[in-house]
Structure 1
Amino acid sequence: MIHWNYLLALEQDIIRVADYIELSEDNFNTYSVELLKLNLSIGSEIDVVLKLLCEAYSPQEKFSSIKDYKNCINDRMPDLIIESTSIPRYNLEFRPFNEIGIDTHDGYHSPSWWQDYNRIKHHRNSDYKKANLKNVLYSFSALLLANLYLVVKLNQLKNIKDLYKHVNGFPKLFDIGEKYKMSMLIW
């Protein structure tokens, strides 16, 4: 599965960044060209994976924007809104889709990391500082969860732990939670 392999490659890039920038809330506002590249790569892949995910849930519908994805998530996979990932080594936890569930007078709210991705994509000169560590970590968490949901949906998995049979490798830095982990019995 190409999207899963790309996810793991992006995580390796984040691991390399961690050699230079401590993955800490104290450094969330740190920005750089390398973080810009990661923000743009991850944001682009999120767009691709969310579109595939929504089309898997509703093949008859067309999805072309974050607004379409938000509606699909809220209507067809609301559990995604409360899902989280973590980086135990640095004591960090992320709920990247949490903001999607917030209903405003204009409809559902876009996550701040998505808004910032679009700002650095379209207004890089004025919004370069938004290409920061926080947005990389939150958007990668969103990509990880979207990929998990896509693998589960495309393979019609009844038991989420069967995920291991359908992907080649798992994240090394990010933790996906106990419900996705295969239980290992030691004899």
Structure 2
Amino acid sequence: MRTPHYQYFLALEQEFEESIRFAELDNRNSSTFSTSYLKMLFAACIEVESVLKAISNRSSISVSPDNINGLRRSILGIYPAFHRITVEIPRYSMSISPWESWGNNTNPPWWHAYTATKHSRQTSYEQANQRNVVDAIAALFASLIYLYAEPSQRIHLDVEPRLFHYENLFPSHLVCSSDITFPTEHDPETPSPDEASES
């Protein structure tokens, strides 16, 4: 089975890893912004949207997946606890929950940074920073876990991510073993995905 989305993620992860040579992945550099980060932010968010649309095709809910709000309702309709997934960057002792804000039916800060820099770059350029880029790539990685969650989509991988990690996902498989779990159940404290929408 071809894995173009995963291969794209690996290429993006490699580009981000190379950037760490110039700006260490550290909270003190979280607000560091650059043209390179802008390119990575755009690349990650465009790919996130593509992966989410692929996941939303499994939904029977009548929503428009043409924007992030429609995708949010669709994804949460399939996986109500999608927002609870956490991925790791062990090398830097980091844990990231890139979709956490979906639990409150709001879109993540890194997504707002993407739309802001896309539409108002002159005033929002500084949002293309290290923090938003690493969160966007983490969101892509987390989304891929769900993309390949269905039995028909389960794949065997030869190349592991160099930075990102999720539980027992590697070295040999991506969501293709019964000992791997990820958030799928509804969180009773989470508002219904239809209760609110945000641009």
- Relative to the length of structure 2, the TM-score reads 0.79
Other-structure match for 1:9? 11
- How far apart are 1:156 and its partner, in Å? 5.3
Cα distance change of structure 1 residues 9 and 58 upon mapping to structure 2, 3 Å threshold = farther
Distance 1:168 1:6, change over 3 A: farther
Percent identity (aligned): 29
| Cα distance change on mapping 1:20 and 1:58 into 2, 3 Å | farther
1:64 to 63, 66, 88: 66
Equivalence map 1:73-152=2 (5 Å): 73-102=75-104, 108-152=105-149
* C-alpha distance 155-110 of structure 1, shift in aligned 2 (>3 A): same
SS at match of 2:88: strand
Change over 3 Å in CA distance of 1:100–1:155 after alignment to 2:
same
Tell me the SS of whatever aligns to 1:39: helix
Cα offset for 1:58? 3.8
CA contact (8 A) 2:63 2:73 kept: no
Q: Name which of 158, 161, 164 aligns with 1:171.
A: 161
Contact 1:55–1:62 at 8 Å: present in 2 too?
no
Aligned residues of 2:25 and 2:92 also touching (Cα < 8 A): yes
For 1:125-149, what per-residue CA distance to the aligned partner results, in whole angstroms no more than 9, with x for missing partners? 1100000000011110110011111
- Quote the offset at 1:59 in angstroms: 8.7
- Distance in 2, matches of 1:72 and 1:54, equals 6
Deviation at 1:78, TM superposition (A): 2.1
**SS of the residue 1:173 aligns to:** coil
> Post-superposition shift, 1:62?
4.3
Contact 1:55 1:61 in 2 (8 A): no
Partner Cα distance (2:13, 2:152) in 1:
23
Counterpart secondary structure, 1:56? coil
Q: What is the CA-CA distance between 1:57 and the residue it aligns to?
A: 3.4
TM-align CA RMSD: 2.1
Runs (4 or more) in structure 1 with deviation over 3 Å come to 57-62
Letter in 1 for 2:4: I
Aligned to 2:193: none
Residues 73 and 80, structure 1, Cα contact 8 Å, conserved in 2 = yes
Scaled by the length of structure 1, the TM-score of the pair is: 0.84
Say which is worse superposed, 167-176 or 14-23, in terms of deviation. 167-176
Quote the Cα distance in structure 2 between the aligned partners of 1:59 and 1:156: 21
CA contact under 8 A between 1:56 and 1:154: conserved in structure 2? no
In 2, the alpha carbon distance for the partners of 1:5 and 1:62 equals: 28
> How far does residue 171 in structure 1 lie from its aligned partner after superposition?
0.8
Measured in 2, the distance between the counterparts of 1:147 and 1:156 equals: 11
Is the contact made by 2:84 and 2:99 (CA closer than 8 Å) also made in structure 1? Answer: yes
Task: Note the alpha carbon deviations across 1:26-53, whole angstroms, 9 max, x for none.
Answer: 1110000110110011111111111111
Q: 1:31 to 1:154 in 2, by over 3 A?
A: farther
